[in-house]
């Protein structure tokens, strides 16, 4: 009997430590979104500010946030969406590394540009955290 309750306590303790372990990852991801300035221009609430809301952006076609006028996107972003660009781990990583160059390569057009005034995020771990964060805001 004593053994069984010890086991139960151990299992409960293990489950609790797993939950605690998961929380900092989300917190770090949210921090990465703020620390790297994304939150200055983007919400994840559905509200559009300088940039389109990034709620549900993963899995969405580029340049198609509902309620963000097409004219507020760059012509290049609209063209990339029409060419088939969908935001996923790989495309987001490429865009965040160097936004303008990513669109130029994607469209095979050296004149392509983006309205996102952001030079790019060189730190791979930060880009990965931001993907985790955005993938969690459906």
Judged by CB under 6 A, the chain residues 24 through 53 that form the site for ligand HEC are 36-38, 40-42, 50-52
Cβ-contact 85, 94 below 8 angstroms: no
Q: Does 62 bind ligand HEC (CB under 6 A)?
A: yes
Judged by CB under 6 A, the chain residues 76 through 115 that form the site for ligand HEC are 77, 87, 92, 96, 114-115
Q: Does 121 bind ligand HEC (CB under 6 A)?
A: yes
CA distance 69 to 52: 9
Phi-psi region of 13 (alpha: psi -120 to 50; beta: other; left: phi over 0): alpha
Give me the least distance between CB of 21 and ligand HEC, in Å please. 25
CA distance 111 to 105: 10
Q: Is 86 helix (H, G, I), strand (E, B) or coil?
A: strand
Q: Does 117 bind ligand HEC (CB under 6 A)?
A: yes
CA distance 101 to 103: 5
Give me the least distance between CB of 110 and ligand HEC, in Å please. 16
Q: Which residues bind ligand HEC (CB under 6 A)?
A: 36-38, 40-42, 50-52, 54, 57, 62-63, 65, 73-74, 77, 87, 92, 96, 114-118, 121, 130
């Amino acid at each position: 009997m004593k053994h069984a309750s010890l086991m139960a306590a151990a299992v409960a303790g293990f489950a609790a430590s797993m939950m605690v372990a998961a929380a900092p990852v989300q917190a770090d991801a949210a921090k990465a979104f703020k620390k790297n300035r994304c939150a200055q221009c983007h919400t994840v609430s559905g509200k559009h500010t300088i940039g389109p809301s990034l709620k549900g952006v993963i899995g969405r076609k580029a340049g198609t946030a509902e309620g963000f006028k097409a004219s507020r996107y760059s012509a290049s972003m609209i063209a990339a969406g029409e060419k088939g660009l969908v935001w996923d781990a790989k495309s987001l990583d490429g865009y965040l590394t160097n936004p303008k160059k990513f669109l130029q390569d994607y469209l095979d057009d050296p004149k392509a540009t983006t309205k996102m005034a952001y030079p790019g995020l060189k730190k791979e771990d930060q880009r990965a955290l931001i993907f985790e964060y955005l993938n969690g805001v459906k």
